[in-house]
Amino acid sequence: EVQLLESGGGLVQPGGSLRLSCAASEFTFNNYAMSWVRQAPGKGLEWVSAISASGGTTYYADSVKGRFTISRDNSRNTLILQMYSLRAEDTAVYFCAKGSRYGSGSPIDYWGQGTLVTVSS
Amino acid sequence: EIVLTQSPGTLSVSPGERVTLSCRASETVSSRFLAWYQQKPGQAPRLLIYDASSRATGIPDRFSGSGSGTDFALTISRLEPEDFAVYYCQQYRSSPQTFGQGTKVEIK
């Protein structure tokens, strides 16, 4: 069974930084695009960022462009989201998500359980 | 950015009823790259439908998707108790990918 285990969430002050990691297992990691999706408390889903299977192409929501960086280490089956200049509106549960295809334009067939990021002073 | 508008916001129904949820896009979702997800409280979403009408692995056949262009729908033929949840549509054809705001299906 596909496993996606997020870590790195926590409480951070506005303007601070945080690095989220997602350890993937039980599938061929370098064959699939990966994404981050977040959900603010009591709100809907918001797509944040995606990365192609090779890591060569990345995509971002306008709300995080220039502040967040997605990357992957295919040798360690790990997805990363580096977050800078965090704002209160970035407070959310962040889900690591696996695409069902090689390309980044693919539906999400597996989700992690999420890690909570709280931006507050 | 493609904006997805789901309706209604909340649907109050009884078990056994048939329900249809709507997802309307602000522009054409080419190649029918639209998915539906189910989310229950405290859980991660689950993929139900992809490419507008293909059921994901393990999804019961009471769930079906339809539509093309800008109008899409998710139909649940006979609601089971475990189907009460929030449902989201998502387009993954163009970046930024976007989700609808969700439809909550609650027990009447």
pLDDT at B108: 87
CA pair distance A67, B63, nearest whole angstrom:
39
A62: left (phi over 0), alpha (psi -120 to 50) or beta: alpha
Q: What is the percentage of chain A residues whose pLDDT exceeds 90?
A: 95
pLDDT at B66: 96
Using the Cβ of A111 and the Cβ atoms of chain B, whether some distance falls under 8 Å is answered with yes
Which of B39, B92, B94 is nearest residue A107 as measured by Cβ atoms?
A: B92
**A62 and B1 in contact by Cβ < 8 A?**
yes
Q: How many residues does chain B have?
A: 108
**B88 and A44 in contact by Cβ < 8 A?**
yes
pLDDT at B47: 98
pLDDT at B51: 95
pLDDT digits (tens, 9 = 90+) for B55-87: 999 999 999 999 999 999 999 999 999 999 999
- From the list A31, A29, A25, A38, the residue with the least C-alpha distance to A81 is A38
Sign of CA dihedral B14, B18, B20, B21: positive
pLDDT at A103: 76
Using the Cβ of A27 and the Cβ atoms of chain B, whether some distance falls under 8 Å is answered with no
Confidence of residue B32 (pLDDT cuts 50, 70, 90): confident
List chain A residues with CB under 8 Å of B72: none
Confidence of residue A110 (pLDDT cuts 50, 70, 90): very high
Mean of the per-residue pLDDT values for chain B? 95
CA pair distance A35, A6, nearest whole angstrom:
12
Residue type, A94: Y
CA pair distance A44, B88, nearest whole angstrom:
8
SS (H, E, C) B61-105: CCEEEEEECCEEEEEECCCCHHHCEEEEEEECCCCCCEECCCEEE
List chain A residues with CB under 8 Å of B29: none
CA pair distance A79, B69, nearest whole angstrom:
33
pLDDT at B35: 97
pLDDT digits (tens, 9 = 90+) for A21-56: 999 999 999 999 999 999 999 999 999 999 999 999
Contacts of A63 (CB under 8 A, 6+ apart): A46, A48, A89
pLDDT at A105: 83
Using the Cβ of B47 and the Cβ atoms of chain A, whether some distance falls under 8 Å is answered with yes
Confidence of residue A19 (pLDDT cuts 50, 70, 90): very high
pLDDT at B9: 96
- Region A78-98: what's the mean pLDDT? 98
pLDDT at B30: 82
pLDDT at A57: 93
Nearest chain A residue to B37, by CA:
A108
Confidence of residue A95 (pLDDT cuts 50, 70, 90): very high
